[in-house]
Amino acid sequence: MSTTTITRDCRGASSHRAYRLGQAPGRLPLLGNALQLFRDPLDYLPRLRHEGDLVRVRIGATTAYFACTHDVVQEVLHNPRTFDKGGEFIDTMKLLLGDGVGTCGAAAHKRQRRYIQPAFQRDRLVRYASVMHDEVTALTDAWRPGRVVDVGTEMSRLTTRVTAQLMFSSGIASDAVAEVQRSFPVVWKGVYRRMVIPFPLLHALPTPANRRFTRAMERLDAVIATMVDAYRKDTADRDDILTVLLAARDEHTGRGMTDTEIHDELMTVLAAGVETPASGLTWAFHLIGQHPEVERELLTEVDRVLGGRPARYDDLPGLPYTQRVVAEALRMYPPVWFITRRAAVDTTLAGHPVPAGASILFSPYALHRDPDVFADADRFDPDRWLPENAAKLPRNATITFGGGSRKCLGDVLANHESTIALASILSAWRLRPVPGHRLRPVAKAELTAGPLPMTTEPRA
């Protein structure tokens, strides 16, 4: 292990300390550390911090650098030109879903982010909240007392419908929303499979799964093309993401976005915005089911503020405990559990040399379990997020939504969506754990809970 001492001022926090460069243990000939990384990353990655602040990991013949500690991760996040988007996963995602704001390189990022940013401004968030209110109402109206529902599937259904309506809000869009709901889950599953099994020939075989993927992809492309075409012909302000993209102009040339650019941004919104809140909500229901004291406090708050009705935008400030539960579920089970960058030039990280082209890896899941940052890190404790307790944590202690210039564009929206969904459901229903069902986090494209059967019990 080698050590470099540097003084850094990481977003205001000055420190002078030694940064250790380590080597990931358990290397095998030819495979390196690939087996541990792919077989049980949620067990393996948090343990790497014992090896150093920055740890070299061998994946086959290549060396990647895993950033283990808070300041090293912040150094990566706040130097987006040096540690640019890249890596195998991002390259595969680009091939399949296009080159939107979430995957594009630093050179194009500022422009692309400026195009879509207005879609996440406050006035639009107010409208989005009413979509969330209506959709959660529709979802739970279909529940019947005493039935077992798979909470994961229910939450994905909810967030797919919400996201599709944020993209297309017009009256002519109900078919489009239904089509997104039908096709996107198939596409997302196929994209993940192609990311982890990088053998294109295998995915070109005419198997039923490959054919389903291709057909779903074609339907999704077609529905986006139809909507773009319809909106271009009728340019009414519809207060949705597609309208924002059509109005975007390059500040130097005045040029608008092409159909391909718009397609790629809409695919990005689906890829980034559907399964992440669904996963966070599923974990929240699981954790609430395991912690009756948290459930009691939640129900007290929800009953006082909502009195049995679903939540609206104006209710959000009155639901601080619900928001703390959401934040704590996302700390323990961050849906984006693994993030990659690629060194654009020969550089240093934590004071150690890193060659151009090297992959830089870090994991919100591992970082959020760091006992040096979070006392009793494996304990579900929403009160960590009481303002007086949160103030004692390092700035940006959690990276649930990333950080720096590439921080999640949908962070506020996702918090609203999760809080409205959680409070509205708890206002009318309790979800009871099914005895004997054991849940284990599964690291896929997001951190999923797998099936989570819970029994619906009306509260009234």
Q: Which residues bind ligand HEM (CB under 6 A)?
A: 101-102, 113, 163, 268-269, 272-273, 276-277, 280, 330, 334-336, 339, 400-402, 406, 408-410, 413-414
Is the Cβ of residue 51 or residue 361 nearer to ligand HEM in the bound state?
361
Is the Cβ of residue 31 or residue 246 nearer to ligand HEM in the bound state?
246
Is the Cβ of residue 74 or residue 268 nearer to ligand HEM in the bound state?
268
In the bound complex, what is the minimum distance in angstroms from residue 360's beta carbon to ligand HEM?
11
83 beta partners: 343
In the bound complex, what is the minimum distance in angstroms from residue 448's beta carbon to ligand HEM?
13
Backbone angles phi, psi at 447, to 5 degrees: -85, 100
The CA distance from 339 to 406, in Å, is 12
In the bound complex, what is the minimum distance in angstroms from residue 76's beta carbon to ligand HEM?
9
The CA distance from 121 to 390, in Å, is 26
In the bound complex, what is the minimum distance in angstroms from residue 325's beta carbon to ligand HEM?
13
Is the Cβ of residue 68 or residue 336 nearer to ligand HEM in the bound state?
336
Q: Answer yes or no: are the C-beta atoms of 212 and 186 closer than 8 Å.
A: yes
User: What single string gives the DSSP state of each residue in 42-68?
Assistant: HHHHHHGGGT-SEEEEEETTEEEEEE-
The CA distance from 260 to 347, in Å, is 34
In the bound complex, what is the minimum distance in angstroms from residue 226's beta carbon to ligand HEM?
21
Q: Answer yes or no: are the C-beta atoms of 400 and 364 closer than 8 Å.
A: yes
Is the Cβ of residue 20 or residue 101 nearer to ligand HEM in the bound state?
101
In the bound complex, what is the minimum distance in angstroms from residue 109's beta carbon to ligand HEM?
6
Q: Answer yes or no: are the C-beta atoms of 22 and 55 closer than 8 Å.
A: yes
Q: Answer yes or no: are the C-beta atoms of 45 and 365 closer than 8 Å.
A: yes
The CA distance from 228 to 226, in Å, is 6
Distances from the Cα of 91 to the Cα of 105, 222, 356, angstroms: 11, 23, 17
Q: Which residue is nearest to ligand HEM (CB)?
A: 410
In the bound complex, what is the minimum distance in angstroms from residue 101's beta carbon to ligand HEM?
5
Dig out the tokens for 379 from the structure: 């304990």
Is the Cβ of residue 52 or residue 273 nearer to ligand HEM in the bound state?
273
Residues 6+ apart with CB under 8 A from 309: 427
Closest-CA residue to 98 (of 244, 217, 231): 217
Is the Cβ of residue 6 or residue 412 nearer to ligand HEM in the bound state?
412
